[in-house]
């Protein structure tokens, strides 16, 4: 499994936690606890400008802004449904 983040997003504690969580998810999804010992998680950090989104190479700040805008949109949609 490959996990792609922006550069510097995960400190060491977060790296360890992400690897554990994804390893557990893979084994649980497959219903095979033995997969924990055979699951590889590759943490990759994208360089500044290395995120391609909607045809544009985004800086980390642009990516964060886009994510925040999408989260806000989802929250508005959720609020209008309930």
The pLDDT tens digits for 8-61 are: 889 999 999 999 999 999 999 999 999 999 999 999 998 888 888 888 888 888
Q: Which helix (H) or strand (E) holds 45?
A: strand 42-46
Q: For 22, how many CA atoms within 13 A lie in the half-sphere containing its CB?
A: 15
Q: Which helix (H) or strand (E) holds 56?
A: strand 56-58
User: Would you list the domain boundaries of the chain?
Assistant: 1-46, 49-82
DSSP H helix total and E strand total for the chain: 2, 4
CA 12 from chain centre, in angstroms, equals 16
**pLDDT for 44:** 93
How big is the chain by its Cα radius of gyration, in Å?
16
Please tell me the pTM assigned to this model.
0.68
């Amino acid at each position: 499994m490959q996990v792609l983040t922006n550069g510097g997003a995960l400190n060491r504690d977060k790296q360890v936690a992400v690897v554990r969580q994804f390893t557990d998810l893979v084994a649980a999804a497959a219903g095979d606890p033995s997969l924990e010992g055979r699951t590889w998680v590759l943490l990759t950090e994208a360089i500044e400008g290395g995120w391609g989104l909607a045809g544009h190479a985004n800086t980390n700040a642009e990516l964060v802004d886009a994510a925040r805008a999408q989260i806000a949109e989802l929250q508005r949609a959720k609020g209008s449904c309930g």
